[in-house]
Amino acid sequence: MKFLLLLFLLLSGATHEKAQAPRRFAIAHVTAHPASRPAVEDATVVVVDGKIASIGNLHPPKCR
């Protein structure tokens, strides 16, 4: 019974995870307008867990 419950929780968690949009992604070679300062040409913006993790003229991260 415990095994079944654990399996259910794991599966439901996995389904939920699948339904979520990816919250880790990067936008590369974009002209970023931060608003707090002038525009940054050819910028890469990295998003992790829904937050901006980096912004600037970086090399694109390892991507699929």
Partner 1 sequence: MPLIEGRGLHLYPSLIDPDTTLGLIEISSVRATLDTTETGLMNPNARADIAFNPDSQLLPVALSAGILAAGVGPRGGLISGRSAAMLLDGWTREDMALRAPAAVYVSWPKMGINRTPGAKAAQEQAQFRKDRLLAIRDAFEDARAYAVRDAAKDERDVKWEALVDAVQRKIPVVVHADGVDEIRAAMKFAREENLRLILLGGRDAWRIAGEITCPVIYTHMATVPRDDEPYDVAYRAPGILARARVMVALSCGGGAAHVRNLPDFAGRAAAWGLPRLQALQAITIVPAQLLGVADRLGSLELGKDATFFLADGDILDTRTHVLRAWIGGREIDLKDRQKVLWEKYRNRPTR
Query: Does residue 18 interact with partner 1 by CB under 8 A?
Result: no
Does position 7 interact with partner 1 (CB under 8 A)? The reply is no
Q: Is residue 38 involved in binding partner 1 (CB under 8 A)?
A: yes
Closest approach of partner 1 to the CB of residue 41, in Å: 10
**What whole-number distance in Å separates Cα of residue 62 and Cα of residue 42?**
17
Asked if 62 is part of the footprint of partner 1 (rule: CB under 8 A), the reply reads yes
Binding flag, residue 64, partner 1 (CB under 8 A): yes
| Alpha-carbon dihedral angle through residues 48, 52, 58, 64, given to the nearest 10 degrees | 30
3-state secondary structure of 49: coil
Cβ closest to partner 1, residue 16 vs residue 64: 64
Helix (H) or strand (E) holding 7: helix 2-19
